[in-house]
Structures are given as C-alpha cells and as structure tokens.
Structure 1
Amino acid sequence: MARSEDTVTRSQTTSSSATSDDRWDRLRRFSKSDFVRSFPYWFIPFSIMGLGVYGGIGWNTLISLTDYEGFTDRPDFTDLDLDMYVQAIQDPAVIVTTKNTFILMIVFTTITMLLGLFLAILLDREIRYREKIQTIYLLPMALSFVVTAQFWLWMYNVNNGLVNVILGVVGLGPYNWIGNPDLVLWAVIFALIWQFSGYAMVVFLAGLQSLPDDQFEAARVDGASTFKTYWRVIIPQLKSSSVSAAVILLIFALKAFTFLYSMFGQYRVPQATDILATLMVREAFQLQNWAYSAAVATILLVMSLAIIAPYLHYQHKQGSL
C-alpha cells in the first residue's frame, strides 16, 4: 500500500514538473516572439493613438452625459444621464439633418458606384485614349473638399456660372442652384459625385482586371452578348469591390462637413443641406451647447460603426483580416 502511494506521489511530482517545464518553454518562446521583439516600436504610437482617438471618443461620450455648456463652465460628472440624447431625438433640427444625411449618403453612394462601374467597364473594353480618360476622371479625387467647393460655387453662379451658361444654350435656366432650397442639396450631391466617381471607377476597374479572360471567351462561345456577359457573369463577381467602394463612399458622405463649410461659410449652411456634422459644429462653437454637440457626435459615431462593422465582419469572413 505504501509503495502504491509512493508511486502516485512520484507520478504527480513528475507531472507537475513537466507542466512547469512546458510553461517555462511557452514563456521563453513568447519572450522571443515577434510580438515582444517589436514591442518598443509599436507600443508608443499605439499608446498615442489610443489616447488621442479612443480616449477622445470616451471623453466625448462622457461629456454627452452631462450638462456641459462650454469653456466657461465645468462639467458635472456627479449626475450623468441621457437627457441630451432624449433632446436630440425630439429636436426637429436633428430630424431634418438626419434625413438630409441619409439622402446624401444613399443618393451619392448609389449614383457614384453606378457611374464608376459604367466608366470601369468602358475602360476595360480597351477604348481609345483610355489612359487620358482615366486621368481626367481621377483628377477630381486628388482635389481637396475646399478646392472642390470653391470650384462648384463658381460653376453654380446664377449670373455667369458655367452650369447656367450651358443650360442657357438649350433655352433653360438660369437656376439659383445654391439659393433655392429645392435644388441646393442635389447640387451638392452632384458636385460630390463629380469628385468621387473616379475613385469608384478605379476600384471597379481593378476588380474587372483581376478576373480571368477565360470567362469572356466562354461567354462568347456560348453566344452571350456583351451586355449579358457583364450583367450575368462579370458584375456578380465584383461583390468585394462593390462592398469596399460603398463603405468608403458612405464614410466620405458622413465627412461632407468640410465641403459644406467651404461652400457656404461658417454657420451659414442652408437648412436644406444641413447634416449631422454641420449641426454638431454649430451647436458646439456657435451656440456653446457642448454636451448636446457631444451627443450628436456620438450619434454620428454610431452611424459610422454601423457602416464599418459589417464591412470588417465581411472582410474577416473572406480571410482578408
């Protein structure tokens, strides 16, 4: 009986020693891993980004739960509530700006993607002057929102803007594109489409050129027309390109504040083009409603996450992350 107990004890000791050795081996391998060796290089920038980005997001969310009204006041963190969010839900200005934001996002993204796909198919067909056309459509993408806004502000001028001059040749106009509440939002959307259609074209063109030529040849052998080949065979395979382009364009639509600010000036954005981003800045810097502005900013953040999160999940399923 004693021998049996000694055997069990030695077995347990050996097992414990083996477990300890395994732990030390894993610890040594971890200490020599690329993660630990690269620690001095990524930790500092990661910490700065975490403090500046995620710390700022956390601070903004905390401020939105207070009654903070500006630099002359101190936020009271002893009584946190959702009053600002309740006000935002009931505020007619938030309802209007949210509607305008969704119209801008949906119309701008949809038309830009369709136009970009059409241009990509044309360039994929090896037309003449392909490189020149591609450069022309890519050029607006290189311009900043400020330059684009000033350019289209001149284009939409009632008296001598190029848009009204061209319409006047065919007996239309002139139209007050900027001053008419029924036209100004569509004028802004058209200008943004002009700037970003080249980006959508490049994304779709890269997707088209990544497809094997065998599919075109097989479609021709089967007697399919060019339209049917693209509609039934080629375009369905551009799902990844479509998702990527849509996400980027939706994010640009949410960031249209710079364009509107440059076109209309400080705090003078018309109600017809007022979006959540312009409302947020106006509430903070003009009206000094910082807590309310922080609540609007949080709503914008949630909208951005609602766009990005499904995209990241899709990329993860595709093995791209």
Structure 2
Amino acid sequence: MRTVRFVALGDSLTEGVGDPVGDGWRGWAALLADGLAERGVGAEEADGTTKSTESLEAPTSVEFTNLAVSGAQTREVLEQQTPAALALRPDVVSVVIGVNDTLRCTFDIHAVAERLDTVYAAFTERGAVLLTACLPDPGVTLNLPGALARPLARRQRAVNTVVHALSERYGAVHLHAAEGAWLMDRAMWSADRLHPGERGHRQLALRFHALLAEAGLATGTAPSPEPEFPDPTTSASLLWLATAGTGWVARRCTDLLPQLLRLAADEMRHRARGTSARLDLRTAAAVSSALAALSVGEQRQPDIA
C-alpha cells in the first residue's frame, strides 16, 4: 500500500479555527486529506497521534500532519514549521500564510517575499507537490470602515501578488481564494468574521481538491460542501467571542491597533490632498522591488537544513 504524506503549514486558517470538532479544530486541510486517497485515510496530528480507517480495496493511504499554529507569520513558517515538515519528507505540502504579517507593525513585503521564496524552494527541490493560496482582504471580512480597510487591503494585495508570482515560479497548485461570491456569504464565516466556519473550510478543501484532481493528484472522493455539524447558535457564537475571541482582540490591540490607526490617518491625509494614488504606487513599487531582489533565473538554493 502506497502512503502519501501530506503536511500542512500556516496559521489559524490551516490550523482549522472556525471548524470545531470535539475539543479541537479540524479545518480545510484535514478535510482535503480525506480526499487524497481512494479509500482509507490515516490522519496523523502534530502531537503524533494517528487516526485511520482501512479498506481492503484501498490502493493508497494518507498520513496527515498539521503543523499550522494560530498567529503564525511567514517567519514562524520559515524558521519553525518548515524544518519540522522537511523531516517528515512530505509528498504534498500546503503553505498558506501571510494574513498575520499584514496585521503587524513589522510588515515588510521584502521579508515576506524572501521567506516564501526560501520555503517554496525547500519543498519543491525535494519533489513535494506544493499547495498555495492567495487570501481575501481581512478588512473586508471584518467589515472595517474604508479608512481602516484600505491599508489592510493594500498590504494583502501585495502579499497575494508575491504569492502569485512565486507559485507560478515553483509550479505550485495555486488556489485563487482572494475573491468569489462565496466569500461574501456570511454563512461561510465564523463568529469572529476573520476565520471561515465549517462551510467555509469545506469550500477551501473542495476547491483545492478540484485543482488536485484535475492534475491527477487527488484520487479520493471530493469533500462535501454540506456541513457535518449544525451551525453554531447565536449564544454559542457570542460565548466564543467572549472567551477565545477576546484574547485575540486583546493581543491585536497592543500591536495592530496603533499601527492601523497610523495607517488610517495617513490614508485620510492622502485622500484629503487627492494623492491616494501615491499609496498604491508606493506599494506596487515595493512589491516589484521585492520580487526583483529574488533570483530571476534558477531557483534559489534553500538555506534550511
């Protein structure tokens, strides 16, 4: 029996926040893992435990390891998650990251590009199938006012442009998840409006599966778009926001809020002067510079052990 090793890297989106199962999270990557094999799946979590179902007809099995951690940025993926993933010798690896970088005062598109380039190269030179995705603007999903949303949108577009370019360069299976009518469907999102709910996670898994199946890399049944569990009640959603949700808000208030207010003030200043286009041009120039700084011809030699 051939075993396919699937390792997922990233932040809370890939960790599965918004799709609770038991005392933990499941998420799109675990749902996708179930569809990579024709029958029977072995799912190995980061703690080393393995869950499996077996079938005599199964030509393949899948070992799934989720290394994603809530709050992770590209730095954590490069320095912590990638070495751990390489040690597992994955056949398929997903690297979906970047939103947390845009929500920090330390945001630097040059650093994001360099880290992603190194991570992508590390896996593809070892023959792994690389899964990537561009992500929606958090300002829209959070329904922020324009002056607050526009700076975040600009940053997310910058990250997505880098991910697009590097995904093409390294031959990744790339999911365009930054736009689409389903993203505007409130039923797809959890109570915090930043993470998908079960329906949203299923959509991500379903769309990744379609891309992999088209490339002949997913032989199992596609994930169902229909939720397995009832939608959380309003009271349950409010309880989550009052407990786990407030922790996220508190952490971001010491980091994101001052930076976001500064960005909003800069945004309003430029709008009052009629020079908002300069902000877009400045970001576009930074993205072009970041990509130009990377090697153009041969793929980089990753500096990860």
Is TM > 0.5 for Structure 1 vs Structure 2? no
Q: Which protein is bigger by CA-based radius of gyration?
A: 1
Q: Return the structure number with greater strand share.
A: 2
Please give the TM-score of this superposition, normalised by the length of structure 1: 0.24
Q: Return the structure number with greater helix share.
A: 1
